[in-house]
Structure 1
Amino acid sequence: MQIALAPMEGLVDNILRDVLTQVGGIDWCVTEFIRVCDRLLPAHVYEKLAPELGRGAQTAAGVPLRVQLLGSDPACLADNAVLACELGAPVIDLNFGCPAKTVNKSRGGAVLLKEPELLHAILREVRRAVPAHIPVTAKMRLGFDSPDGALDCARALAEGGADQLVVHARTKVDGYKPPAHWEYVARVQEVVRVPVFANGEVWTLEDWRRCREVSGVEDIMLGRGLVSRPDLARQIAAERQGIEFVPLDWQALQPLLQDFWVQAREQMTERQAPGRLKQWVAMLTRTYPEATALFTELRRETDCDRVARLLGIPVSEAA
């Protein structure tokens, strides 16, 4: 069984990847998507979104990082995949799941699920271009506005050369509204010979148990559930291994919040850093009642020194 941390654009950046993988239970993670349009991107684009490439394509905790590309031009995606490999990417992942309107309007993400032939062409070109020892994987939804074509899309990706599929068990139109239709993951796994990961609406250990039962697959990708409950992967891994694990309480989470803030201050502007922290704390309110009180204090705060004090960090350490 493998547990992956989902690529979430605008949320799971290198800082949050670093902090969440410190908790444990995560086998691999993925960059935010790198948008490929009509040219070979400069190396600094990859280095900015995936600074882990400079240290063996791993987070500080040693968790491997995959590079995700998003686009619709098979040849251009192939060229960029080769560059990513040259920069150290151990796996190339292709995004066919992003539901954002701006992305879909530019023929990226989930809108391509309307064109199984193009999915196949993209996988074929990228697989041909990338060194044979480097896996090429893909993330898909069940379709754009209907799951009727989900199996055709999965076949197209697998037959094009995908070594693994992650299936977000909702359509583009579904967005992130519950439920996730895990039963379709089981149907996808029946028609492809590559490993399939289930993704969507796993917020708790009980959700994972039900997802495994309905989907029939062992492998899982966690997104918002893991961001909201940072030890969810460890809880799942411990249960699979028959090991007792006591979930982290709010107090145990404080060093992670502090580490996140210190890194945010180092890498972001004074205007950006508070917003990114608030984004994470807002998601933590789903699991931790104490996060609601912290978010209330942080909500209108823009002064970085005061934010540090709210987190219990001496200003000299947070600057």
Structure 2
Amino acid sequence: MHSPVSRRGLLTAGVGGLSLGLLTACGLRLDQDPEIPTLDATQQLRNRLARILDSTSPGAGDPETAGENLADFAAAIGPEWNPPTEFATEAPPTEEDRTLLQAAEVASRAVFEASASLGSDLIPVLADVATGLALVAGTKKPEIIATADELIRVGREELDQSRDGGDDATASPSAPGGADADAGTNDSGSQVPKGRAEMFNAILNQSRAAAYGYERLAVNFDSKSRERKTALARLESLGALSGEMLERLGEDAADAAASAWKLDPTPTDADSAKELALSLEDGVASALLPWLEADASAILRLWESARNRMVFAAPQPLRFAYDEPGQAEVQE
């Protein structure tokens, strides 16, 4: 079984009320009420997912792994954040009790409907958990996957349209779409910041390697099998990913393609071909994470990778590992 991949990110609003609670518990005198942070829309969304998961229990119709999956999702998202009761101006919102299938439908829709405006460094964990919920629940209720796919593609179109009509030169790197701001239009001769070029080239090289791997592994499946059809279709989306990276990099900054890539394992039969497919998709997810940390555009590419991976194995609930809530890290 392949372990989830990850890379370090940030959790911006986890248990912020803890320090205030400690101050009051110790009897320290405060000359004035401490400032209670205001959560932005993305932080509020993370908070809502925490409430949804906290109110969810395995139920009839859920996958057998529902209990384990829910624990993993909740640990990744982190606990609900609430200000100390003495400073709260209103009662905290609540969520109704749900099964995993019900929670997955509500939570994935909430994230993917907002995908075009996500920010505050929480994009990786929100996208990862929403993707996992949709795919795990989709094994029992396929329409959840279909709805998620549509919402993700609509969100990506909205992002692309906003950038086409906006001023890249004034975009903030921390705002949605900011990952593209430094790169500009990437015409031949334009300068791409070194860190940005390295990130896009890593994705470019991984997408090329994955395409090569899928060409090699596809022949190990029957021509009419789901695996063979998926492998061949995956070449198209990987080609689109490579093309996008080339466009972002520009001719001068893009690395040259290798003539071949080392495959581990070398596909010689259906079992080794499936294993290679999992390895290729894990590599793609790992390469995507730095982009995902700054730009919601990468959600579509993470979704494509996760959906293709589940053809060759059970859906992977989380593509990234979380030693701490909200902090995605690449597992070596």
Short-chain TM bin: under 0.3
Structure whose alpha-carbon radius of gyration is higher: 2
More strand by share: 1
Structure possessing the higher relative contact order (Cα contacts under 8 Å, 6 or more residues apart): 2
TM-score where L is the length of structure 2: 0.25
TM-score where L is the length of structure 1: 0.25
More helix by share: 2
